[in-house]
Amino acid sequence: MEYSEVTCLLRSLCELKGTSGDEGAAAEKICEMLGRYMPSKIDTLGNVTGTRGEGFSILLDAHTDQIGLAVTAVDDDGFIKVARVGGADCRVLTAAEVIIHGKSDIYGVITSTPPHLKADSDSGKVKKFDEITVDIGMKKEEAEKVVSPGDRITFKAPFSHLAGNRIASPSVDDRAGVAAVLRCLQLLEGKKTCRIDVMFSAQEETGGSGAAAGAFNSQADEAIACDVSFAAAPGLSDDKYVALGSGTMVGYAPSLDYAMSRRLTEIAEKKEIPHTAEVMGGSTGTNGDDIQVSGRGIKTALLSIPIRNMHTAVEVVDAADIENTARLMAEYIIERSAENA
């Protein structure tokens, strides 16, 4: 298998469950993984942070949280009512398998409406969130013993190896970014660099609160946010969206530092790292936006990994794109370290 290093990293990261605001268990494991490269800890809002080296500093960011659902109530028939955490997509919930992180992990199936109960006008229509319930095979009294309002719900779906180096799994957004940062640190092992701050941030999917606080604590000279973005797929033309497997996407946007974006592109050209440009007209909708304006302000760049089916249980990514994102980050750090030594 090519890219086995990042694929293995991604697999162990995707196995972790951590929806926004409930990153706890996932954050602890990721803190341990980061600890192999630098002293690491978990901060007030649940960000995993670490730092190594001195002087000029570059902050690397990727978010630990994933989209999901939260329990709002157990209804009279023992079925679980839900609210969404982050941008969960109603269109892909019917018949999905889930885990409710209650007193213990409880298995459930999201209910679907049998044909005889469906009006013709409902056919092909998406259910509304208040119509969605989870079947855990229990009566109300039993259910209430193990499930409480606020408990988080995540997809139970496989980590599938597709053709080539492609993978389908829940929570590739943004464990792929976490994998790229960890892989970058691995590539830099034994090399003398400037100060590297790492922030695996909480609560990106609910608005970026984690990154705002974490970046304030770091106050690095420069930051690179690493997230996922949209790849071409049926319905998303390749005139507008990049192909999966075409490399790391260097972000260009008014909110991003233009010199950093240019530099990243130049290094990618020079080192022959596959890359594309992702151009946006304002801010970026990523942690980059929050990092940029934290404290006195931080020059920020964005590298994105193209994925398909964002915010579903089958987010598809090409391992080569994760590897190339890690390589470009590492090469950038090496050059900037030499210049600022």
Partner 1 sequence: MLETLKELCSLPGISGREDKVRDYIISRIEGFCDYKIDPLGNLIVFKKGKNSPKNKIMLDSHMDEVGMIVTGADSGGFLKFATVGGVDPEVIIGRTVLIGEKNIPGVLGIKPIHLIEKSEEQDLPKKDDMYIDIGAKNKEEALSLAPLGEEIHFESEFIRFGDGFIKSKAIDDRAGCAIMIDLIRSELEYDCYFSFSVQEEIGTRGAKASAYTIDPDYAIVIETTTAADISGVKGEARVCVCGEGGAVSFMDRATVYDRSLYQKALEVAKSNNIKAQTKTRVAGGNDAGAIHKSRGGVKVLTVSVPTRYLHSPCCVCKYDDIVSTRDLVREMINNLAV
- Residue ranges that bind partner 1, judged by CB under 8 A: 75, 77, 79, 87, 89, 91-97, 106-109, 111-112, 114-117, 124-127, 133, 135-139, 142, 157-158, 160-164, 166, 168, 230, 232-236, 238, 245, 308-314, 316
Catalytic, out of 5, 23, 204, 278: 204
Q: How far is the CB of 288 from partner 1 (least distance, A)?
A: 16
Least Å distance between CB 237 and partner 1? 10
**Smallest gap from residue 221 Cβ to partner 1 (A):** 31
Pairing outcome for strands 57-63 and 48-52: unpaired
d(CA 110, CA 133) in angstroms, rounded, equals 6
| 3-class SS of residue 160 | strand
Task: Tell me whether residue 56 or residue 159 sits nearer to partner 1 (CB atom).
Answer: 159
What DSSP element (H or E) covers 99? strand 97-101
Nearest to 30 by CA among 20, 40, 22, 21: 40
Q: Is 95 buried (19+), middle (13-18) or exposed (0-12) by CB count in 10 A?
A: exposed
Smallest gap from residue 265 Cβ to partner 1 (A): 25
Q: For 334, list phi and psi in degrees, rounded to 5.
A: -60, -45
Using the minimum distance from each CB to partner 1, give the nearer residue, 203 or 309.
309
**Largest alpha-carbon pair distance within the chain?**
72
Q: Please give the Cα distance from 4 to 165 (Å, whole number).
A: 9
Q: List 198's β-bridge partners, or say none.
A: 50, 60
**What is the residue type of 139?**
K
In this complex, which beta carbon is closest to partner 1, that of residue 309 or of residue 337? 309
Contact by Cβ (8 Å): 241, 319: no
Q: Which helix (H) or strand (E) holds 251?
A: strand 248-252
Distances (CA, A) of 55 to 40, 190, 214: 19, 18, 19
CB of 222 to partner 1, least distance (A): 27
Q: How far is the CB of 314 from partner 1 (least distance, A)?
A: 4
Q: Which is nearer to partner 1, 1 or 163 (CB)?
A: 163
Q: Nearer Cβ to partner 1, position 45 or 146?
A: 146
Q: How far is the CB of 224 from partner 1 (least distance, A)?
A: 22
Give the Å distances, CA to CA, from 234 to 164, 195, 237, 243, 308: 19, 43, 7, 11, 10
Nearer Cβ to partner 1, position 115 or 190? Answer: 115
- Between CA 25 and CA 16 the distance in angstroms is 8
- Pairing relationship of beta strands 68-74 and 80-85 according to DSSP bridges: antiparallel
Query: Is residue 2 flagged as an active site residue?
Result: no
Rounded to an integer, what distance in angstroms lies between the CA atom of residue 179 and that of residue 266?
23
Which one, 57 or 286, has the nearer CB to partner 1? 286
Query: Which residues are known to be catalytic?
Result: 204
